[in-house]
């Protein structure tokens, strides 16, 4: 027996239509853990007030980190607004 918290629930198709997402984007968010839902007999039930979490890093100490991992020191310094003697 499954007991769901009280509230209104939607299927993936209804949720995607409500927010203007594609169904695949909703499934991706479910599988990545960015959207909380319950699966009952192969059907995903999503609360009508649920939000998709955005986990992208757009500010803070990780800016330029991908450039540094690639070995592009100049790009890393530019993104961090660090000037060198050569500038």
**Per-position pLDDT tens, the chain of length 87:** 678 888 899 999 999 999 999 999 999 999 999 999 999 999 999 999 998 887 776 667 778 888 888 898 888 888 888 887 765
Beta bridge partners of 43: 40
State residue 39's pLDDT score: 92
State residue 1's pLDDT score: 62
State residue 84's pLDDT score: 78
State residue 22's pLDDT score: 93
Q: Where are the domains of the chain?
A: 9-47, 56-87
- Burial of 63 per CB tally in 10 Å (0-12, 13-18, 19+): middle
């Amino acid at each position: 027996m499954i007991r769901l918290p009280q509230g209104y629930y939607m299927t993936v198709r209804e949720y995607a239509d409500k927010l203007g997402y594609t169904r695949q984007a909703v499934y991706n968010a479910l599988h990545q853990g960015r959207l909380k839902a319950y699966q009952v007999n192969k059907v995903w039930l999503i609360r009508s007030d649920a939000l998709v979490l955005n986990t992208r890093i757009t500010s803070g100490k990780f800016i330029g980190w991908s450039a540094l991992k690639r070995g592009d020191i100049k790009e890393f310094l530019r993104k961090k607004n660090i000037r060198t003697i050569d500038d």
